[in-house]
Amino acid sequence: MKNTQLLTSLRYVLLGALTVTTSVVQAESIAITNATVYTVAKKGVLSQATVLVDEGKITAVYNKDEVPELLSADTIIDAKGRILTPGFIATDNLLGLVEVGAVSNTRDSSDKKADITFDASLAFNPKSTLIAYARKGGITSSVVMPYGGEKVFTGQSFIVNLSGNFDSVITSQNAVIASLGATEKGSRATKLQTLNNELEDAQKALAKAEKAKLNSKKDKEEKEVESPSRSEQVMYELLSGDKPLIAYADRATDILALLKLKKKYNLNLVLAGASDAILVSDEIAKANVVVMMSAINNLPSSFDSLHNSLANAAKLTNAGVKVIISNSGESYNINQLRFDAGIAVANGVAETTALAAITANVADSFNLNSGRIAVGKNADLVLWSSDPFEISTKVDAMWINGKAMTLKSRQDALRERYTAETDMPRAYTK
């Protein structure tokens, strides 16, 4: 009898524990109502719209005439007409790899020995203080692009969300980075020649491996085929189009050479920098190549970038080129991406086009399930106090994978610390 009572008690305890565990695991469902939603999708801009989120995904997007009378959600947020956008996606930066540029032991973005296999995501620090600071600019994810070594291929980029969690690396080694153009020593021709030769050699090796595999099947014998090296495997992924090639090049002649290589090897090419792109914009558009560029470079930084201008983003988009607006290389200015997009708008880029340049265009280029407010997409969302491209606007709320994010950064904590009321001198405030 006592044993039966004990077993019954244990059963109820276990059932209670399971109930608690289930409630913790299940993600909160959210309804954001009465919002001005910039979907960056087929639905365009919706007023007084409602977006439903469940299990970290967007499950419904209703315009004002479609909203059901009864909304079933754990949390209902009245946006009061404020703007809701997809979370912005930063590119061409070192977020999580460099904390203080002037302090060498906080820099993990490059290595002299780095080559095409260099995977800097292994050094990514999700607890970097710069991540919370970037969130204040509406950034929910980032394509981190290390400098790598001194060869043509400098390594591979990786993608992270800005949740600050240890599992925030979405995709490691997602694209190969190549650096072309002028060099302090030697000729730019060497890099272009090396790039072509390595692609050609990889193509021949791949064809040879396929032939050996075919012959093995014909002979009805399973002959051992030599496995490709790590470098060769990456090259094969480039040739198959599974991995994009992000190529830094500014001068028009270098860009044209890359377009020829794209055609010859059927590469999934993304041009980075591309100061002279406006000189060959028609060729870039015909090749269906994306240009990743800064919208605020208006002065030459070298003889390769004599055509830098604030109007370049507008000229490229008007020519039919898909543009990604990026910051330039460092970690601490990522939260200003929205200002860069705003400057592009001030210089002729349509507002919705500029928004796509920091959301959907990035997602499309790097195969991310975000960048749009549409059913099935990750619930990476930002609710703004006003126009996100205006300097006085602030982020009122942010969700990454449907989870609300804190908007407090180290800078906020320092401000609170040194402006707090105290009898002690201000510098001694604790």
250-301 per-position pLDDT tens digit: 999 999 999 999 999 999 999 999 999 999 999 999 999 999 999 999 999 8
Query: Which 8-state DSSP code applies to residue 304?
Result: T
Alpha helices in 136-278 (DSSP H): 188-218, 230-240, 252-265
| Buried/exposed 41-69: b ≥16 CB within 10 Å, e otherwise | bebeebebbbbbbbeebbbebbeeeebee
Count, residues in the chain: 430
- Please give the helix or strand (H or E) that residue 207 lies within, else none: helix 188-218
Q: What percent of the chain has pLDDT over 90?
A: 73
pLDDT for 33 equals 97
pLDDT digits (tens, 9 = 90+) for 70-125: 888 999 999 999 999 999 999 999 999 999 888 888 889 989 889 999 999 999 99
Q: How far apart are the first and last CA of the chain?
A: 62
Q: What is the mean pLDDT of the chain?
A: 89
| Gap between the Cα atoms of 345 and 390, Å rounded | 11
pTM score > 0.85 for this model? Answer: yes
User: Looking at the predicted structure, is the pLDDT value of residue 429 above 70?
Assistant: no
Confidence of residue 383 (pLDDT cuts 50, 70, 90): very high
Q: Note the pLDDT tens digit of each residue in 299-341.
A: 998 999 999 999 999 999 999 999 999 986 578 889 999 999 9
Q: What integer pLDDT is reported at residue 66 of this predicted model?
A: 92
**Predicted confidence band at 216 (pLDDT cuts at 50, 70, 90)?**
low
DSSP 280: G
Which 3 state secondary structure label does DSSP give 379? coil
What would the pLDDT profile of 337-361 be if each residue is shown by its tens digit? 999 999 999 999 999 999 999 999 9
Contact 51, 321 (CB under 8 A): no
Question: What six digits make up the tokens of 85?
Answer: 């956008």
Q: 77 near 31, Cβ under 8 Å?
A: yes
Nearest-angstrom CA–CA distance, 415 and 321: 43
Q: How far is CA 351 from the centre of its chain?
A: 20
Which residues have CB under 8 Å from 119's CB, separation 6+? 155, 156, 158, 172, 173
274: left (phi over 0), alpha (psi -120 to 50) or beta: left
Between β-strands 139-144 and 75-78, what pairing exists: parallel, antiparallel or unpaired? unpaired
36-45, 346-355, 419-428: segment of lowest average pLDDT: 419-428
**Residue pointed to by tokens 């999708």:** 41
pLDDT attached to residue 412:
85
Residue the block writes with tokens 């930002």: 382
339 CB neighbour count, 10 Å cutoff = 18
The CA-atom distances, in angstroms, between 90 and each of 30, 87, 144, 423 are 25, 10, 8, 43
C-alpha to C-alpha distance for 99 and 72, rounded to whole angstroms: 43
Q: Which two tokens stand for residue 253?
A: 């002649």
CA angle 140, 397, 98 (to 5 degrees): 35
For the record, the structure tokens of 316 come out as 């490229």
Backbone angles phi, psi at 271, to 5 degrees: -85, 130
Q: How far is Cα 141 from Cα 161, in angstroms, rounded to an integer? A: 4
The pLDDT score that the predictor gives to residue 224 is: 63
